[in-house]
Amino acid sequence: MDAKCKTGLPVLGGVQPPRVRRVRWPTLVAGVAFLALLHLLVSPSVHPIYRSPALPLASSALLCPQEKSLAPEKNSELWNDLTALHATNDFLMRAVGQLSRAIQLPTETFDEMDRVGEDERWLTRAPFVDHLATAFPLVHASLELQKVNTYGLMYIWQGSDASLKPLLLMSHYDVVPVSSSSADKWTHPAYSGYFDGENIWGRGAWDDKAGIISKLLTIEVLLEKKFVPTRTVVLSFGFDEEAGGAQGAGHLAPALLERFGPDSFAMIMDEGGGSWEQFGGLFAFPSVAERGSANVKIEVQTPGGHSSVPPEHTSIGMLAALIVHFENNAPGASIEVDTPTFEGLQCLAAHAPDMPGLLKRAIQSARTNPVALKAVEAILLKDPIFRAIVGTTQAVDVISGGVKSNALPEQALAVVNHRIAIKSSVNATLTRDAELTRDLAARFNLSVTAFGELLTPVGAPSFGSLALTTIDTLEPAPISPSDAPPYRLLAGTIRATFHATRKDEEKEIFVAPSMMAGNTDTRFYWDLSQHIFRYDYSNVLGEGIGEVHTVDEHLRATSLVEMITFFTTLVLNADEAAL
């Protein structure tokens, strides 16, 4: 997943920071909601919602309809056989062995790597690609494999009916580096793939070699069972997602577009989402959208000189004032009713038994009652994580300036990272940044150029210059519809997998749309399908993953097997569905 913002715990349609030992968002919000609601109960005149007529409770079926558990029908005997096989210890050990060996082959991605063929650090991919060929012999004997930009892998399992749009399953096999300063802090060495009888340990155990192994082992076992697909299945594996995906997915997507054409896939599945317990209910959160992003460089240039006779403000001081101005004028946040986050909220209100009653009632009425929506915002936007998920964010992540303690800095620069709300745009974000600079630039007598446009009069005298430029930008992703057959098939598949793998579990699982806080390789695939989902059936009942992108990354072995059951069910369901 996105190197800058991992998709850890889904948080009412969003994401929590990656360390699973941290307090989860629902716990924080439950506390905030409880205090706010207690105050409202004591002083009902505080908010107009409590002076309004009683809000009606909408039915759960209308707020968040749930698909029935969807198990294959035409291939029911095969599916039953496979789910029974997955439940055996022999199969668990087979899956563990595959993931363990994959972890032992480091495939680290670093920032600012040169292109493939120009940077020797890409060569770590070759042993991993060679290993897959021997680890999954039937896949490599039966599927067409096209290598794109040397290390991008496109597998095509041709179906018998060429008129059906294919199913596309994505993953990436690169990992974030292991810092030399923390290598000795791992419980088991980072590239050992050690299995302690319960968990597989090592970098990539969850992100995202489990995705690679679960998909390939799914296909390998289906081939062993002589299954012949009706619908073509395509696997697309990138190798630099942790640095943005330009060399991997950035080349794979055009190759797929050239071969299959625009809007040619029935649905696309990539990493992300997951299943978690929230407010007493168990929810699966497939992501149907991603926020956009923009990295903006702010550069101040002023005359140099000896620091013994400084001006009132140096370039660094001016830049510091501008940064403070940005942070004191952060973008606002609101809850939009026509977004995946709001849909996820409504699902929680419909099916989470422990959500505070007044909050539940307000959410259930918020779509058509503006007063109720404001009440929901008044409670939920107090939480900084949730506020960040639904709004556009800004974070000053890089700063530099000056070269010598006795020389006035001629240049100072900062880089601001924005994550752009799903209903906003790159243009709106950049326009806001430009407007924020006007007053301060005038105060410091700086000419301003914002994204190629001169904002101050031509030829006007100035002490220095201020320039805003973009390093990279990405519009928010199109929202995949949650009322269309592909989403319904996914939701039914999630529920069928849960029932098949948790036969003794008393809980029910509910499926709710969500939105990624960061970005995945799907950013390159928008032209290939209107139905793109980010979900890998991880962490059901809080048992699945640990320590993503940090020391002691690990994955529970039973979670790996459940991922295989999920992808097996998805392939078989898609094979006999009308998509």
On the 0-12 / 13-18 / 19+ scale of CB atoms within 10 A, 411 is middle
Q: Which residues of the chain have pLDDT under 70?
A: 1-61, 540-546
The first and second tokens of residue 475, run together, are: 């519009």
Please give the Cα distance from 358 to 509 (Å, whole number): 24
Q: Quote the Cα angle for 498-63-535, to 5°.
A: 35
Among the residues of 87-172, which ranges form H helices?
A: 89-103, 125-135, 137-142
Residues in contact with 467: Cβ distance below 8 Å, sequence separation at least 6, in sequence order: 297, 298, 299, 301, 448, 449, 450
β-partners of residue 138 are none
Kindly report, residue by residue over 345-397, the tens digit of the pLDDT: 999 999 999 999 999 999 999 999 999 999 999 999 999 989 999 999 999 99
The closest alpha carbon to 148, from 237, 265, 269, belongs to 237
The answer to whether residues 352 and 285 touch, using CB atoms and an 8 Å cutoff, is no
State residue 259 phi and psi, 5-degree precision.
-80, -40
Residue whose structure tokens are 């009632």: 361
Question: Considering only CA atoms, which of 241, 244, 248 is closest in space to residue 151?
Answer: 248
Look at phi and psi of residue 499 and say left if phi exceeds 0, alpha if psi is from -120 to 50, else beta.
alpha
Name residue 454's beta-bridge partners: 449
Instruction: Examine the residue annotation and report whether 224 is marked as an active-site residue of this protein.
Output: no
The candidate with the shortest Cα–Cα distance to 559, out of 571, 567, 551, 550, is 567
Reference 10, options 543, 550, 513; nearest CA is 513
Whose tokens are 């501008």? That residue is 322
For position 307, what pLDDT does the model report? 95
pLDDT for 25: 36
Which residues are CB-contacts of 469 (< 8 A; sequence separation ≥ 6)? 296, 297, 299, 451, 452
pTM, rounded to two decimals: 0.88
The structure tokens 């996820």 sit at 344
SS3 of 259, please? helix
Q: Which of 268, 90, 252 is nearest to 169 (CA)?
A: 268
- pLDDT of 546 reads 63
Sheet arrangement for strand 267-270: 144-148, 152-157, 233-238, 167-172, 267-270, 532-534, 287-290, 514-516
Q: Cα-flanking dihedrals φ and ψ of residue 457, to 5°?
A: -60, 140
Binding annotation for Zn(2+): 172, 207, 242, 270, 549
Pair of tokens at residue 497: 């997998």
Given CA atoms 112, 113, 114, 115 in this order, what sign does their dihedral have? negative
Give the burial string for 425-441 (b: 16+ CB within 10 Å, else e).
Answer: bbeebbebbbebbeebb
Q: Which of 281, 218, 224 is nearest to 26 (CA)?
A: 281
CB 170 within 8 A of CB 522: yes
Beta-ladder partners of 170: 236
Place of tokens 């990992």: 175
Residue 112 annotated among the catalytic residues of the structure: no
Where along the chain do the CATH 3.30.70.360 domains lie?
292-332+391-474
Residues placed in the known binding site? 172, 207, 242, 270, 549
Three-state SS at 375:
helix
CB atoms within 10 A of CB 108: 16
Whether the CB-CB separation of 390 and 333 falls below 8 Å is answered with yes
292-332+391-474: CATH topology: Alpha-Beta Plaits (3.30.70)
Q: Which of 174, 220, 383, 536 is catalytic?
A: 174
Domain 1-290+337-390+477-579 has CATH 1.10.340.30: no
From the candidates 208, 241, 290, 562, which is the catalytic residue?
Answer: 241
What is the residue-wise DSSP string for 475-504?
Answer: PPPPPPPTTSHHHHHHHHHHHHHHHHH-TT
Residue of 159, 316, 152 whose CA lies nearest to 240? 152
Task: List helix spans (H) across 291-423.
Answer: 315-328, 340-351, 357-365, 370-380, 384-390
Q: Where in the chain is the domain with CATH 3.40.630.10?
A: 1-290+337-390+477-579
Burial class (CB in 10 A: 0-12, 13-18, 19+), 415: middle
